[in-house]
Structure 1
Amino acid sequence: MKKLLILCCFFFVGNLSANELIQTIKKIKPSVVGIGVYTPTGRPKNTLHGTGFVVGNGQFIVTNHHVVPKELKRDLLQELAVFVVAGKETIVRKATLIDWSAKYDLALLKIEGKALPAMKLGSEKFIDEGSEIAFTGFPIGAALGLYPATHRGIVAAITPTITPVDAAKQINIAMLKRLRDPYLVYQLDATAYPGNSGSALYEADTGVVIGVINKVFVQETKEGVISKPSGITYAIPVKHVLALLKKNKVK
């Protein structure tokens, strides 16, 4: 009887097979890029700020607005850059910030040169809670390098985007405006780390993008997210990506 129970558990835990996820990762990895700064006179020359993914005709990149550097040091010839992983080699592609949404923490970049494989975007409709998801990016990439890593989990909840604060002095005007008009985001039970910001959140079995990773619930300090991860991650729904692309006539 015990043997039968073990076999039943083995066959019915989760709907996604390991092979399905393996094939999905192989399919989407060429579309995952690093976002950062290229400094030709610096050491290191490449500085990673986060992750992005290819959309449209292969020359556009979506990432988080907070990942894009606010200022570049022109005296050092710094440029906004997209880092493309090609085996053990990293190719630097110069990029231009086309548009952004501070409210939804999204940014649209355009790269120079040859088009890259683009990811397929989902519809404006939310997927169901409990759906199996994954995201691939560069967690702690500044230290570990450009080696794409995949995390998986489920959609734990669809919840308003509200950032808790420890004290009243942390509340500002921008936060009050957001509190008056919150929008729904995905809450995940998978853990993201610094460097994952801007990663595409996708259906684990198809690779279709349903959102963009943008923040992690931190229990103590920002540094503590590495040693004491909360296991709660948030993602912006893809409907806001679609709106940004439509505004800029990106198909």
Structure 2
Amino acid sequence: MILFFRRTILIAFVSLSASFAVYADLANTLEKVKPSVVAIGVHTPTGRPQNSINGTGFAIGNGQYIVTNHHVLPTELDVSLLQQMAVFVGSGKTAKVRKAQIIGTSAKYDLALLKIEGAPLPAMKLAGESFIREGSAVAFTGFPIGAALGLYPVTHRGIIASITPTIVPVENAGSINIAMLKRLRDPYLVYQLDATAYPGNSGSALYDIESGAVIGVINKVFVQETKEAVISKPSGITYAIPVKYLYDLLREHKVKW
């Protein structure tokens, strides 16, 4: 009985030590990651408020290229209001507005590549094109609920719960075309996470806790009831596009990473 008790204590101690190690790794990695994280939205010089945030992005390559989701991009800009596609760099009251242009998009994989004006940002390193193992510890940093919490990046952590097929939803049957039907027959694989993302987290880099290498891009959350309930009743199930699909977009537009 005493031997069993000692073994239980030892196992608990080892488990606790491992947990502390993971937190220490994340704290160190986060210091390197945060300067690369940006908010994606629209700047309206004549508006009140002037800035609106649709999602999150992160710097790659030479530091002037920004990755985010396709669905985060504004559908149209009001020229009469001088609206501009914008990337918000920094945090809190020190955040700056940078003009951005769209370099390329992939509606199929819900990815977009932007280029910002001005000085380059610290760039995140991309992981290899192979899928990482289920059970791997990961984290993502972004702006949940847009600007409601202020321009202060928030970090969530979890594991790769599954590598699973996905399909891109459409609003109605009239939106379905031949290309979409082909994708329904052959859906691509994405990461399913046991971490909770919120509106505004779309476009966040999913990264390895130890190395900080980007392994995917957060793109949607499983909704239990309605879109309005995603904040009050989050499902805790989040999906991310593997970085292997981002490489296709970068090669297409000859962007070095």
- Which one of the candidate residues 42, 50, 55 is aligned to 1:45? 50
Corresponding residue for residue 84 of structure 1 = 89
CA gap of 1:87–1:44, structure 2 versus 1, over 3 A, is closer
Alignment of 1:143-158 (within 5 A): 143-158=148-163
Kindly name which structure, 1 or 2, has the bigger radius of gyration based on alpha carbons.
2
Moved more, 42-51 or 141-150: 141-150
Moved more, 3-12 or 14-23: 3-12
Corresponding residue for residue 9 of structure 1 = 12
Alpha-carbon distance in 2 for matches of 1:159, 1:195: 23
CA gap of 1:88–1:19, structure 2 versus 1, over 3 A, is farther
Corresponding residue for residue 207 of structure 1 = 212
Unmatched tracts of structure 1, length 5 or more: none
Q: What is the CA distance between 1:164 and its match in structure 2?
A: 7.8
Q: What is the CA distance between 1:144 and its match in structure 2?
A: 1.1
Alpha-carbon distance in 2 for matches of 1:6, 1:45: 57
Alpha-carbon distance in 1 for matches of 2:211, 2:198: 24
Corresponding residue for residue 24 of structure 1 = 29
Structure with the largest fraction of helix: 2
SS at match of 2:90: strand
In the alignment, is the contact (CA less than 8 A) between 1:99 and 1:107 conserved in 2? Answer: yes
Alignment-mate amino acid for residue 103 of structure 1: K
**Matched residue count:** 250
Alignment of 1:144-223 (within 5 A): 144-162=149-167, 172-173=176-177, 175-223=180-228
Alpha-carbon distance in 1 for matches of 2:143, 2:111: 18
Task: Among all aligned residue pairs of Structure 1 and Structure 2, give the percentage whose two residues are the same amino acid.
Answer: 69
Aligned CA-pair RMSD: 2.1
Corresponding residue for residue 231 of structure 1 = 236
Q: What is the CA distance between 1:170 and its match in structure 2?
A: 9.2
Alignment-mate amino acid for residue 31 of structure 1: S
In the alignment, is the contact (CA less than 8 A) between 2:26 and 2:210 conserved in 1? Answer: yes
Alignment-mate amino acid for residue 5 of structure 1: T
Alpha-carbon distance in 2 for matches of 1:163, 1:79: 28
Alignment-mate amino acid for residue 204 of structure 2: S
- Which one of the candidate residues 124, 130, 152 is aligned to 2:129? 124
- Which one of the candidate residues 54, 65, 70 is aligned to 1:65? 70
